[in-house]
Amino acid sequence: MESSTVTPHDRAEELRGIRREAESGSLRATEAQHAKGKLTARERIELLLDAGSFKEVEQLRRHRATGFGLEAKKPYTDGVITGWGTVEGRTVFVYAHDFRIFGGALGEAHATKIHKIMDMAISAGAPLVSLNDGAGARIQEGVSALAGYGGIFQRNTRASGVIPQISVMLGPCAGGAAYSPALTDFVFMVRETSQMFITGPDVVKAVTGEEITQNGLGGADVHAETSGVAHFAYDDEETCIAEVRYLIGMLPSNNRENPPAAPSDDPADRRGDVLLDLVPADGNRPYDMHQVIEELVDDGDYLEIHERWARNIICALARMDGQVVGIVANQPQSLAGVLDIEASEKAARFVQMCDAFNIPIITLLDVPGFLPGVDQEHGGIIRHGAKLLYAYCNATVPRISLILRKAYGGAYIVMDSQSIGADLTYAWPTNEIAVMGAEGAANVVFRRQIAESDQPDVTREQLVKEYKAELMHPYYAAERGLVDDVIDPADTRSTLIAGLAMLRVKHADLPARKHGNPPT
């Protein structure tokens, strides 16, 4: 009698067929995705992770929703691909919206898959990368879909400061969905193809009458230059994802580890004689702080965060003697390097990130003060400037500050001065540390003498010189113990590296508390 029993070989072949269906998806939808200049979710994952390292989770998941035709369309993966792999051999978790399925819209099963991979990343202590390309909540599933976002937000918050979270925007991200990237550590965007906004152009027009395109409202350049929502913006997906890999290589896997070191052929004791010519002694002459950073770090290589937003301050990750450091530096080429609302916010968030992930902070000061003006005061410069002050005071990682030229007033204190806890403070012989500039100080201190003088301009000039000689000479702060040493600019790299090596075993405990209440 002939057997009709299904064999294990038959089942294995059936499984292979299901996997092929799940992995290939609709050819028509794939062509439509490519026609928009966009890669598919799986192509993006292949670019992000080391070749052959991806292990998918819940590939065969399907939704259980009914109504509005959903019961007739139940594709595998439910529109999101989740799993883990490696980047340069280190474990990284990832989820990627598949725009070919329901436009990447989030449903209940879709959200549950994301929740699971986020929980796995937190438990494993490994970075989480989200490749975002979705149309928001799946309307057909109603509030069940919407609640899925709440679960994502809650996990974003729980993972904050525990594992690096990186959001890569590769398509639309509208409404409540935009809050998940906003809760993560870094946001990458691609020009023309990715947009983020809470309410789209149609709603904006209906409510305010303003007409604007999607890119004009929430495109990559808008968020990289104006809103500060995006840390990085690139022209194409390939470059964007390559930079994500580079960033991951600078970050620890979690808050219990140190960032990965890398061997360096750049000598730790390399002299930087060029620094003597890069920075003018005249405090009124601008220069490019980027050139200073290039001279100090290994091989002149660094990754600038928020490069095009709040350009009067520079935040960057780099290596010195192979060890990762975070650099915060005033930029005299933009607004003379003053601190304003946006610069304070930018630097505060960067300092908090460095502190969360055990990255030592080097602060390069050339700051004439906070930006004056009605707009700044009414915009809350006190509150926003306090964010940077709070971030530095709260940071327990090694902190070294270097004063290149100006360090005036409250801005000097806020920019990691010794008085708020910098472990080491150095200055160049061109430093000017004071309550304010000599001209302004003379006008206040010697106001009566100048007013009563027969030659007020001559008297003012003479008194300015006296004030500088008495209270603003290069060794004034060092003589009072507010600067650990005045150093030759050419020795800066070796001095900083020696300080970092000494501080590598630094341990500092914060007071027992549930959490602080930082200014917002």
SS3 249: coil
To which residue do tokens 């959903």 refer?
70
C-alpha dist (Å) from residue 201 to 102, 105, 178, 205, 206: 22, 19, 15, 6, 9
pLDDT digit string (tens) for 285-299?
Answer: 999 999 999 999 999
SS3 80: strand
Catalytic center residues: 175-176, 410-411
To which residue do tokens 């309550």 refer?
435
Rounded Cα distance, 248 and 166, in Å: 9
CA neighbor of 385 nearest in space, from 337, 335, 347, 333: 347
Cα–chain-centroid distance for residue 405? 27
CA neighbor of 81 nearest in space, from 32, 46, 51: 46
DSSP 404-469: EEEEEHHHHHHTT-GGGT-SEEEE-TT-EEESS-HHHHHHHHTHHHHHH-SSHHHHHHHHHHHHHH
Rounded Cα distance, 218 and 229, in Å: 10
Between helix 237-248 and helix 41-48 the angle, nearest 10°, is: 40
pLDDT digit string (tens) for 61-101?
Answer: 887 776 776 776 778 788 899 999 999 999 999 999 998 88
Rounded Cα distance, 79 and 97, in Å: 6
pLDDT digit string (tens) for 101-153?
Answer: 888 888 888 999 999 999 999 999 999 999 999 877 777 777 877 888 999 99
CA neighbor of 426 nearest in space, from 489, 354, 332: 489
Pair 33, 100: CB distance under 8 Å: yes
What local confidence, expressed as pLDDT, does residue 1 receive?
44
Q: Does the pLDDT at position 238 exceed 80?
A: yes
Quickly state the pLDDT bin for 438 (edges 50, 70, 90).
low
Mean pLDDT across the stretch 346-358?
98
- Three-state secondary structure of 257-303: CCCCCCCCCCCCCCCCCCHHHHCCCCCCCCCCHHHHHHHHCHHHCEE
Mean pLDDT across the stretch 191-215?
91
Handedness of CA 128, 182, 251, 299 (dihedral sign): positive
Rounded Cα distance, 195 and 190, in Å: 9
